[in-house]
Amino acid sequence: MYTPTKRDVKFWFDRINAEVFDHCLNPFSKIIIEHHDTEWGAMDPKDNGILYLSTDFPDKDEFINVLAHEMVHQWQWQYADICDHGTSFQAWEGAMMAKNYLINYWF
């Protein structure tokens, strides 16, 4: 079991933002890490994006992939005013996979 810290989130956000998004994402305005029974992550677009993450990831890699997934949603809200798993989400899959991040839509 892996429980991320806000420091982990900020470190991986900065790394993924640099590697995949060319530093174009604004940081999440708030990071909330708490137990969730039904999901590992969610992004609420209020106030420039509130990030919700679970305390119960199977491992660190799963946390990183979920964060990358939520960062695609952050990009969608910043640049396309949507938040779904359609074509604008799927368009990031290749760039993410090139850096070994998996953003499967079923997280």
pLDDT at 66: 96
Q: How far apart are CA 19 and CA 23, in angstroms?
A: 8
Longest dimension (CA), the chain: 35
CA atoms of 61 and 90, how far apart (whole Å): 20
pLDDT in tens, the chain (107 residues): 999 999 999 999 999 999 999 999 999 999 999 998 888 999 988 777 899 999 999 999 999 999 999 999 999 999 998 889 999 999 999 999 999 999 986 64
| pTM, entire model | 0.94
Which residue has 């964060």 as its token pair? 67
Residue keyed to tokens 């137990």:
35
d(CA 29, CA 2): 23
